[in-house]
Amino acid sequence: MPEGGVGAPSLEAIESTLTDGYAEVLTLEAERSRIERRIGEVARDAGGEANLREFARLSESLEAADGELERLRSLLSNLQARRRDLRSSSRS
């Protein structure tokens, strides 16, 4: 995203994107919790190849959710910094 000039997002657009991003973080965290609960259930019912396959699938899903959360939080952190910069420059 351009930081200034033509094509640069407005403060309102940045704040809207942040809101959407935080909603996505909450969705991913809920999904992550669901996966963790299911991993616990599968571990308690240990046994059989089907459980091993499901455990592996759930572990991969948890890893993917963790990676997506990390990526999204990094993007949101950068966007928060841009919002701070825009707010401080508009006050000057």
**Per residue of the chain (92 residues), what is the pLDDT tens digit?**
666 666 788 899 999 999 999 999 999 999 999 999 999 999 888 777 878 899 999 999 999 999 999 999 999 999 999 999 988 887 76
User: Strand ranges (DSSP E) for 1-92?
Assistant: none
Let me know: does 76 contact 16? Beta carbons within 8 Å.
no
Residue 32 pLDDT? 98
Residue 30 pLDDT? 98
Let me know: does 1 contact 9? Beta carbons within 8 Å.
yes
Q: Which two tokens stand for residue 73?
A: 């939080």
Q: Is residue 78 a part of any domain in this protein?
A: yes
Enclosing domain of residue 61: 11-87
Number of domains composing the chain: 1
Residue in 6, 35, 30, 24 with CA at minimum distance from that of residue 75: 24
Q: Is residue 66 a part of any domain in this protein?
A: yes
pTM of the predicted structure, to 2 decimals: 0.82
Q: Is residue 4 a part of any domain in this protein?
A: no
